[in-house]
Chains A and B, each alone.
Chain A
Amino acid sequence: MDGAPGGGRSAIVVVMKDWKSIAHAHGLDVSARDLDRIEGPLNALEETFRPLADQLPPDLEPDTELRLDAEER
């Protein structure tokens, strides 16, 4: 992780995904060794990201195309 996230979310329990099953379900042609290598980083990201995503209000829309022009904001 890039550092400990803000304090208030530490009590939320994040259930880790079974990345190997997900990879197989996706038909991803990845060796067991390669899967071992990616599990740790994905779990770490999941631990930070999941509580953030779970707090999102339904009316917040995605920024699928970043436009920073002042007149368009």
Chain B
Amino acid sequence: MIQEAAAELRARRVSAVELATAAIARIDRYNQQLCAFITVTAELAREQARQADRELAAGVDRGPLHGIPIALKDLFYTRGVRTTAGSRVYANFIPEWDATVVERLRAAGAVMLGKLNMHEMAYGITSANPHYGPVRNPWNTECSPGGSSGGSAVAAATRMVYVAMGSDTGGSIRIPAAFCGTVGLKPTYGRVSRHGAFPLGWSLDHMGPLTRSVRDAALVLNAIAGRDAKDPTSSRHPVVDYVPEEGGSIRGLRIGFPENFYFDRLDPDVESAVRGAIARAESLGASVRPVRLPDVAALNAVARMVLLAEASAVAQPVLGQRELFGADVLALFDQGCLVPATDYINAQRLRRKMRREFDRVWSEADCLMMPTTPNVAPKIGDTTVRLGGRDEDVRLATTRLVRGINALGYPALSMPCGMSGGGLPIGLQIVGPVFEEAAVLRVGAALEDGGVGIPPCPMG
């Protein structure tokens, strides 16, 4: 974990160069099989690590991420380093500047190991990238890692890096986190700058970390949160210290579990693990209660309408090059081109109405707990999944418990809470009111401290 590595660095028991070298060795060992990285920046990492060591030796301490190996989903602009967005269209795009998130991580002393594979254009949940190879799940390489931040989840799960940055427009951090057994944090909309991240849907895109512990995610949020004048939707809401205190209590905290929608048609292993985590929260002193939420299926439809229109608007200048796109992504872009402006506007009106309705739940609960996905990782290539005796489209099933949260902008954490009978991780989702990341992370850390989690990844 980051805090242990940071302590080792400061005690001179390990150097940043040694951490980077170990990370490169792990990438060399696993990447050919797992396809997590599109670009490995080994030389740049060694150079940044040497600088981190020099600074620490000179008494310059940039904080807990100083000298820590990280990697970035390949949609974050990186000055002088190819940034493809997982697309052939941008196969040779080399930005001249860094995304704000990248600037902040560099200012915090993090060492960048490279750019991570992803679903093409971040528009999908499989990360079976037709141009840079399919990312594979390290728990079972025949299975999908989820997406779109699939490479990020794999890099974190297999300890290639301590932190892998991702983005989440309809579950793209939380889904791969759940499928690969990592922590994934989608902060409140506006909490982390989107500037310099290839957009998918401007009003739905969120940037956040995938890590191996809740506290690691909190440490990253400390480094990247805050107002950025370059992002017009960046918030001025005060930033706090997001790292939960050791042994922090959740006694008396009101934790709601939805009695509608979120526990419908689940894989039985998922239901059992998530209910077990909720019971653990109660045994730790939380006040656990059922809550009733407004129409989540309707919210999901609104989120999909917004995304279809925004994504096609983003991509319109390059959509003429149809031969450069994978079939699944092209089909989504085509759908978006047929959404009339009136439907997009009405979706945004519905979104406002629904946010008011959903906000009422916070008078009954301080946070919500539910599964991240109804299913565990499907096999690569599966197009349907059987849940509750019904075959569902795998994309719609996998996104149905996460997509709506993007339209509401709430912070949401996915953390591992158990394993399926088939040996695949299961994700617990913790959702809070806007700008209450600290509370969400506190609950996650208390559960982690209380034994909720999974064994290390076999490739980890």
Q: Which residues of A contact B (CB under 8 A)?
A: 1-6, 19, 22-23, 26, 28-30, 34-35, 37-38, 41-42, 45, 48-49, 52-53, 56, 60-71
Which one of A22, A35, A52, A56 has the highest number of Cβ atoms from chain B below 10 Å of its Cβ?
A: A52
| A64-B330 Cα distance, complex, nearest whole Å | 25
| A70-B400 Cα distance, complex, nearest whole Å | 28
Number of interface residues of B (CB under 8 A): 50
CB distance from B167 to the nearest CB of A (A): 16
B83 close to chain A: CB less than 8 A: no
With a cutoff of 8 Å between Cβ atoms, the chain B residues found around residue A49 in the complex are 301-302, 305, 343, 347
B296 interface neighbour in A3, A28, A35, A56, Cβ under 8 Å? A3
**A62 in contact with B261 given A67-B233, A68-B435 (CB within 8 Å):** no
| A38-B308 Cα distance, complex, nearest whole Å | 12
B297 contacts A1, C-beta separation under 8 Å: yes
Q: What secondary structure prevails in chain A residues at the interface with B?
A: loop
B315 close to chain A: CB less than 8 A: no
B435 interface neighbour in A2, A38, A60, A70, Cβ under 8 Å? A70
What are 20 A-B contacts defined by CB distance under 8 Å?
A: A1-B301, A2-B297, A3-B261, A3-B265, A5-B297, A5-B298, A19-B338, A28-B334, A34-B330, A38-B335, A45-B304, A45-B308, A49-B302, A56-B349, A63-B351, A64-B348, A68-B235, A69-B190, A70-B435, A71-B237
Q: Which residues of B contact A (CB under 8 A)?
A: 188-190, 203, 232-233, 235-237, 261, 264-265, 295-298, 300-302, 304-305, 308, 320, 322, 327, 330-331, 334-335, 337-338, 343, 345-353, 355, 396, 399-400, 403-404, 409, 434-435
**A62 in contact with B403 given A2-B297, A3-B297, A67-B233 (CB within 8 Å):** no
B322 contacts A68, C-beta separation under 8 Å: no
Nearest CB in chain B to that of A41: its residue: B335
| A26-B335 Cα distance, complex, nearest whole Å | 12
**A53 in contact with B298 given A26-B337, A28-B338 (CB within 8 Å):** no
**A66 in contact with B409 given A28-B334, A30-B334 (CB within 8 Å):** yes
